[in-house]
Amino acid sequence: ILNVEQSPQSLHVQEGDSTNFTCSFPSSNFYALHWYRWETAKSPEALFVMTLNGDEKKKGRISATLNTKEGYSYLYIKGSQPEDSATYLCAPHLGGGADGLTFGKGTHLIIQP
């Protein structure tokens, strides 16, 4: 069973503040790392797919970094807004990418006005 750890499990942040959270995964046989945003009553939506060690991706106020050697990725949100409230899931893709993604349990982010 693939061990994917996301921390913290939940996070309350004031509107306008910046925040970040972590995804840890086995570093061996790495292929790609996915980040998804999952809003309540909706379906998960892909944010980033990262493949290279040291890679950094950005989408508006959200960015992510990747360290494949030590097996972790950080997701950053700058200037949090209420619409950022969601559960953020990471999913490493190992072994050549042949199998389905294994998702972590997510970080539940609540932005307080």
In the complex, the residues that contact other proteins under the rule CB under 8 A are: 31-32, 34, 36, 42-49, 51, 89, 93, 96-106
Pick the closer one to other proteins by CB: 28 or 43: 43
For residue 36, the cross-strand partners are 46, 89
Q: How far is the CB of 38 from other proteins (least distance, A)?
A: 9
Query: DSSP string spanning 31-60?
Result: EEEEEEEE-TTS--EEEEEE-STT-EEEET
Pick the closer one to other proteins by CB: 98 or 113: 98
Token representation of residue 85: 């409230």
Q: How far is the CB of 105 from other proteins (least distance, A)?
A: 4
Pick the closer one to other proteins by CB: 18 or 23: 23
